[in-house]
Structures are given as structure tokens and as C-alpha cells.
Amino acid sequence: MPQQRLGRVQWGDLTFGPGTPYAVTAVEGLDDLPDIRGEDVDRPGQHGDYTGPDFTGPRTVQLGLGLHAASPDELRALTLALRNATQPQRQPAPLQFLDQGTLVYAKVRRRSIPYDAEYLWRTGSAALELYCADPYLYGLEEQSASTTTYSPAAGRSYPLTYGFTSVTLNTNSDFETTLAPWVGNTATAARVNSQAHSGSWSMQVTPNGTSATPRSESEKFPVSAGIKYRAQGWLRCVSARTLGLNVNWYDAASVYMTTSFNSQPVAANTWTFFNGAFTPPAGAAFAQLAATVNGTPPATDLLFGDELAFQQDFPTGVRAYGSAGDTGRVTAVNAGASDAFPVLRLDGPVSDPAIEQVTTGGILTLDADLQAGEYLLIDTRSRAVLFMGSSPRRTWVRAGSSWPVLQPGPNELAYRGSALPGAPGQESLLTITWRDTSL
């Protein structure tokens, strides 16, 4: 929380203020308004001016310091450390007011560390003048927000059907192994394409004429408690028989628990549709689909199964909705009192990305394609556009574009772009970075 007490001040590796040997005795220019550079012009033949927008000049911050040491040698060490930390600079560096949550970008322009023989035993003083070509006061914390490009909602899918198929047995490439005869039964199972109800393939079970209830079983697949499932598919037999499309239930250790039966009589050589809904019993973790012949058929009987499936069952009348989509919008809050200039990062894949400042209506559009793994950095203050953070691409900015700024308070931005060929469903990301800004 902001406080009036100045507290600690950070410059490079040195910290001034409470708990340090450098006491801050005075600060000037931090909360002051820098000199105004007005764009006023005279009114010819009239009193007064035509007034234009006001801009500020650079900011100058002056710090008074008190040095406190335990001996003259320690005082000398403090003096040398301060001198070394305040050398002439090529570029501004952050001057941070840690307890006030503020920083400015400054260069040391003046340094005074007077020598007073009467007070050099353990104490000294210093004065620093720091020049801020950028007069803004920035929040200490850098903030960021992200959004993906706009994507429309998927909507509803028609016709109304059951939710999803967990496994469709008759299209399994390992049909002979995943639909093996029951252990202890000498019936044979095969995958054939001569007796299919529809499509190309079906299963065929040939009983041996002696084993009771010959059947063929699928692999086990996981189920969830409280979810209703549906076993369905087509069965036929060469003779009139009672057939079943049943579900075997197993616990988490794959130990058999019980069977849910769905049997009905079928006419000879007639495809009959089986469709049953089941809820897993308590403790069930796996299900297994079983096509069976009830009783002991002769060796010539053949059981066929086609389009066998095990599905999660949605209640009647409930439609499955697609994804809600993404608005591609994000809100950035500037808690300062002046416009903030954000840095934008665009991560591909995306074609012709555009960032709209919804609050003010300006749009920045780029004629560019970014592949997956490529990104673009945009500094809205300097208006630098850097591909992969280093290669200038200012020419990608479409004529007539507006550079987004963050006004004081909440700002809504929208991110638009087109998918690249060959990258459907891959999302591009816009990341906005800014600091609260005031003068």
C-alpha cells in the first residue's frame, strides 16, 4: 500500500534509507511536476494565445544522503562505494523507491560528497542529482495479461445422438485378439467381410457343439461411477436362438464382479439390433462387451456380430454442445493517472494479427505470418516492432494503424487473427505487459 514515508531507495546495488548506512535526508523532484513544454501560439492581432496540448520536460530528482560509519576507514569505504555506483552512464537505469512502489529511469548528472575535517570521524554527507529524460513515474510491479485470438463457438451438433463412442469393436485392427473366445471354450473367432450387416467387416464365432454358452469378449475399458453406458450392435445366428449382448464388470484390480444381461430371441439368419443401457455397479472400474449364444448350439451354428459398440449414454433430449469459443479479449488496468505504453508480444501461429484498443477504438494491424514458435515484440512507446525480439519489422505495420495505449483505469483490448494453413486449432497468444504510469 502506498505510504508517505519514503522508506528504502534502490540504486544499482546500493540501498539507501532505513537499516542502511546511507540515510535519506532530502528528496526533491519526485512528486513535483516537471517543467511544462506548452504548444501555445500567439493570437495575431488579439490578446492571448491559441493554446495547444501541454507536455512535460524531463524530470530531475535530487537526493540528500547522510553517511554513518563506525570508523573513519569504514566511512571511506562507504564513500568509495557511493562514488563507484554513480558513474556516468550510457543508458538510464531504474531508481526504485521500494516502499512507495515507484520507480523512475534516471542517469546520474551530478554528485557531491564534501570533505569536512570536523565531521569525518564517523559521519558524512552526499548529494545526488539524477536526470530522467522519461519523466513518468512507474509502478514498481510489472503487470501482464494474456489472451488467445478470437475463436467462434462450436455450437450444437445434429442429429441428436449418444455422446461419444468409447470403442467400436468391428473396426478394431486387432479383432482376433481383442475379441477372443472365452477362456475354457474351444469355439473359434475370426474377422470376416462376407457376412457384414453394413460396411465391410464383422466378427464370426464358431461354437464347438459341446461347450455351453459360447461367447466372444472384448478388451476391458475404464468406466466411471454414476455414468450410464450403452451397449449396442447387430447380432445374427444361422439358426433361431437366444443371443445376448452383455456387459461384464470388473473392479480396479481387473477381478470379475458381475454381468449385466441383455438377451433376446432372434430368427434364423436375421440381423437383430441389440441396445441396452447399464449403470456400473458399486466398485466397478472396467467394462467388457460379450456377445453370447445362450445354451449349447450344434457345431454348425455360427454367431456373427457387426457394429458392436460401447458408449457413454446421455439422457434422452440432451444435446451435446461444442466449445464456447474464446472472445479474444483481455482487460488491462492502469492504476496510474497518465497513459501507459504497453509492450505487446504476439506468439504464432497466426496470420495478419490485429490488436484493437476497444476502449478508444484504435486498431493496430500487421501484414505478417508468424509460424508456431515465432514471436513478435511491439513497444508502443518507441514503436519498435521486433521479430524474435531483435530483428526490426516496422514495415509490417499496416498503414492507418493506431498504436494502443492504456488510459487510466480499465482498458479492454481484443486480439484478432487468421489461422495459418496447416495449423488449424493451434492458438496464437497475445501477452500485454505494462506498469501503472503517472506524472
Contact assessment for residue 354 and residue 364, using Cβ atoms and an 8 Å cutoff = yes
Q: Are 338 and 381 in contact (CB under 8 A)?
A: no
Q: Which amino acid is at 158?
A: Y
Whether the per-residue pLDDT at 365 is higher than 80: the answer is yes
Q: Where do we find the cell 474464446?
A: 326
Residue whose C-alpha is closest to residue 406's, from 342, 350, 322, 329: 342
Give Rg (Cα) of the chain: 39
Report the pLDDT averaged over residues 123-129: 92
Confidence label for 306 from pLDDT (cuts 50, 70 and 90): confident
Residue 231 forms beta bridges with which residues? 276, 310
Q: Cα(62)–Cα(5) distance, rounded to whole angstroms? A: 17
Q: Is the pLDDT of residue 315 over 60?
A: no
Residue 29: predicted pLDDT: 93
* Distance from C-alpha of 430 to C-alpha of 414, rounded to nearest angstrom: 9
pLDDT per residue as tens digits for the range 63-116? 999 999 988 889 999 999 999 999 999 999 999 999 889 999 999 999 999 887
Q: In the structure grid, which three cell numbers stand for residue 253, read together?
A: 484390480
C-alpha cell at 112: 557531491
Residue 85 corresponds to which amino acid?
A
Query: Given pLDDT bands bounded at 50, 70 and 90, which one contains residue 200?
Result: low
Does pLDDT of 380 surpass 70?
Answer: yes
Contacts of 393 (CB under 8 A, 6+ apart): 368, 376, 385, 386, 387
Residues 6 or more apart in contact with residue 410 via CB below 8 angstroms: 331, 332, 333, 359
Quick: pLDDT tens for 10-54. 999 999 999 999 999 999 999 999 999 988 999 999 999 999 999
pLDDT band at 121 (very low <50, low <70, confident <90, very high): confident
Q: What is the mean pLDDT of residues 185-204?
A: 68
* Contact criterion met (CB below 8 Å) for 321 and 155: yes
How far apart are the C-alpha atoms of 276 and 311, rounded to whole Å? 10
Q: How many residues comprise the chain?
A: 439
**DSSP conformation class of 151:** B
Question: Residues 6 or more apart from 86 whose CB is under 8 A from it?
Answer: 11, 108, 111, 128
**pLDDT of 152 higher than 60:** no
Q: How far apart are CA 369 and CA 387, in angstroms?
A: 11
- Provide the pLDDT for residue 3: 64
Longest dimension (CA), the chain: 122
* Whole-number Å distance between alpha carbons of 357 and 412: 6
Quote the pLDDT of residue 425.
61
* Three-state secondary structure readout of 334-362: ECCCCCECCEEEEECCEEEEEEEECCCCE
Q: Kindly write down the DSSP assignment for every residue of 17-78, as one continuous string.
A: STTSSEEEEEEESSSSPPPEEE--EE-TTSSSEE---EEE--EEEEEEEEEE-SSHHHHHHH
Report whether 353 contacts 415 (CB < 8 A). Answer: yes
b/e sequence 255-269, b meaning 16+ C-beta within 10 Å: eeeeebebeeebeee
Domains of the chain: 9-139 (2.40.30.200), 143-154+325-438 (2.60.120.860), 164-312 (2.60.120.260)
**pLDDT score for 242:** 86
